């Protein structure tokens, strides 16, 4: 007697990569398709905008370089409205990079310390109040920082400059002559204050996400609070701190009005960070755009292209560092 084969009672699995069954309907619902289209469209729009900016900056840069009588990368002069025009970015690149490095060195350790205090040390009420104050600092317009820096910070930095000159002037980096301290070091201090809330807020949120089970296990084994932070919190939040630092660096590189209000610009590179001199890309563009002619505007746009490239390189390097750290952490897991 033949027995007809019966269907297997074992449910078949969906092929890899196939649409997963979701409770409440199919994966191809109209709402899902609309949201997917909007998401893709937003991403493509962002890429198109970035490409359009790059093309515009490159085109106007080529026009400016065709008229330039100097070397764009090494000339210590900016006379783009002269006939013939002579301009270069050596001083601007130096001032932008040096002031941003000063800001990062001063701001990142303090910001990480504030984030750790709010997330792991401060009582709940104090942490909430302090977090609100830090958030408020991030909302202050840059021109307000610039006015505060010009009217309050600059007059009160003379004592610090004299102290640095007395004890570290022999290095040549911290020698100070006289006059109002409107220098790259002052700009770096002001930028550090401005990027402090950005780095602190992002780092704080990362530290709050650290695995609580690891922290409690370390405490149960007799670790101190600092040992818990060193072994469990900081390793977990390292990539987040790097991302926060890069956000702050991007703000420092592109800051305009605060720098223009505080700095005494000229196209000289001083060995000392405390003496007058220097400039930044953003400050030079803001100061010279109104009076610039056609070639002068193209020259300023060319300097903007350099700043655009520097920003892309910094963010790309940060993403590369974070990706490598994730791969290293996954290999050791």
- How far CA 259 is from CA of 90, 303, 304, in Å, comes to 18, 16, 16
pLDDT in tens, 95-144: 999 999 999 999 999 999 999 998 888 888 888 888 888 888 888 888 99
How large is the average pLDDT for residues 169-189? Answer: 85
Q: Is 34 domain-assigned?
A: no
Q: How far apart are CA 58 and CA 189, in angstroms?
A: 33
DSSP state of 290: T
pLDDT of residue 193: 93
Q: How far apart are CA 63 and CA 68, in angstroms?
A: 9
pLDDT of residue 9: 47
pLDDT > 70 fraction of the chain, expressed in percent and rounded: 89
More confident residue, 15 or 189: 189
Q: Which domain holds residue 200?
A: 46-327
Give every CB contact of residue 247 below 8 A, 6+ residues apart in sequence.
Answer: 198, 199, 202
Q: Is 32 domain-assigned?
A: no
Bridge partners of residue 278, in order along the sequence: 266
pLDDT of residue 328: 53
pLDDT classification of 330: cutoffs 50, 70, 90: low
pLDDT in tens, 275-313: 877 788 888 888 888 888 888 899 999 999 999 999 888
pLDDT of residue 106: 94
Q: Is 130 domain-assigned?
A: yes
Helices (H) and strands (E) in the chain, counts: 12, 2
Q: Is 105 domain-assigned?
A: yes
More confident residue, 216 or 43: 43
The answer to whether the CB of 175 falls within 8 A of the CB of 288 is no
What number of other Cβ atoms are within 10 A of residue 217's Cβ?
13
pLDDT of residue 251: 86
Structure tokens at 274: 């405390």
pLDDT > 90 fraction of the chain, expressed in percent and rounded: 22
In this model, does residue 173 exceed pLDDT 90?
Answer: no
pLDDT in tens, 36-67: 889 999 999 999 999 999 999 999 999 889 88
The answer to whether the CB of 86 falls within 8 A of the CB of 79 is yes
CATH number for the domain spanning 313: value is: 1.10.3720.10
Q: Is 71 domain-assigned?
A: yes
pLDDT of residue 42: 92
More confident residue, 44 or 326: 44
Question: Which of 186-190, 254-258, 302-306 is predicted least confidently?
Answer: 254-258
pLDDT of residue 24: 46
Q: Is 252 domain-assigned?
A: yes
Q: How far apart are CA 196 and CA 138, in angstroms?
A: 8
Q: Is 281 domain-assigned?
A: yes
What number of other Cβ atoms are within 10 A of residue 162's Cβ?
15
Give every CB contact of residue 69 below 8 A, 6+ residues apart in sequence.
Answer: 84, 85, 86
pLDDT of residue 110: 94
Q: Is 23 domain-assigned?
A: no
Number of domains in the chain: 1
| pTM for the full predicted model | 0.82
């Amino acid at each position: 007697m033949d027995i007809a084969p019966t269907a297997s009672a074992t449910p078949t699995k969906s092929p890899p990569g196939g649409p997963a069954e979701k409770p409440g309907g199919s994966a191809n619902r109209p709402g899902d398709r609309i949201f997917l289209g909007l998401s893709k469209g937003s991403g493509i729009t962002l890429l198109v905008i970035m490409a359009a900016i790059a093309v515009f900056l490159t085109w106007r840069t080529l026009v400016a370089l065709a008229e330039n009588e100097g070397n764009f990368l090494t000339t210590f002069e900016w006379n783009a409205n002269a006939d013939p025009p002579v301009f270069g970015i050596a001083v601007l690149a130096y001032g932008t990079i040096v002031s941003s490095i000063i800001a990062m060195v001063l701001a990142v350790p303090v910001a990480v310390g504030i984030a750790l205090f709010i997330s792991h040390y401060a009582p709940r009420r104090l942490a909430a109040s302090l977090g609100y104050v830090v958030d408020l600092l991030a909302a202050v317009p840059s021109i307000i920082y610039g006015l505060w820096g010009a009217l309050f910070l600059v007059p009160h930095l003379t004592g610090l400059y004299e102290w640095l000159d007395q004890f570290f002037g022999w290095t040549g980096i911290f020698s100070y002559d006289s006059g109002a301290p409107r220098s790259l070091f002052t700009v770096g201090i002001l930028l550090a204050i401005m990027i402090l809330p950005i780095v602190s807020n992002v780092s704080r949120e990362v530290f709050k996400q650290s695995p609580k089970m690891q922290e409690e296990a370390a405490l149960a084994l007799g670790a101190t609070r600092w040992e818990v932070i060193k072994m469990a919190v900081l390793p977990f939040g390292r990539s987040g701190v790097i991302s926060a630092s890069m956000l702050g660096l991007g703000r420092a590189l592109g800051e305009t009005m605060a720098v223009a209000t505080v700095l005494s610009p000229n196209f000289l590179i001083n060995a000392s960070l405390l003496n007058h001199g220097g400039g930044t890309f953003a400050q030079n563009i803001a100061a010279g755009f109104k009076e610039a002619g056609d070639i002068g505007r193209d020259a300023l746009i060319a300097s903007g292209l350099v700043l655009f490239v520097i920003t892309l390189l910094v963010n790309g390097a940060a993403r590369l560092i974070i990706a490598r750290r994730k791969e290293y952490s996954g290999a050791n897991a």
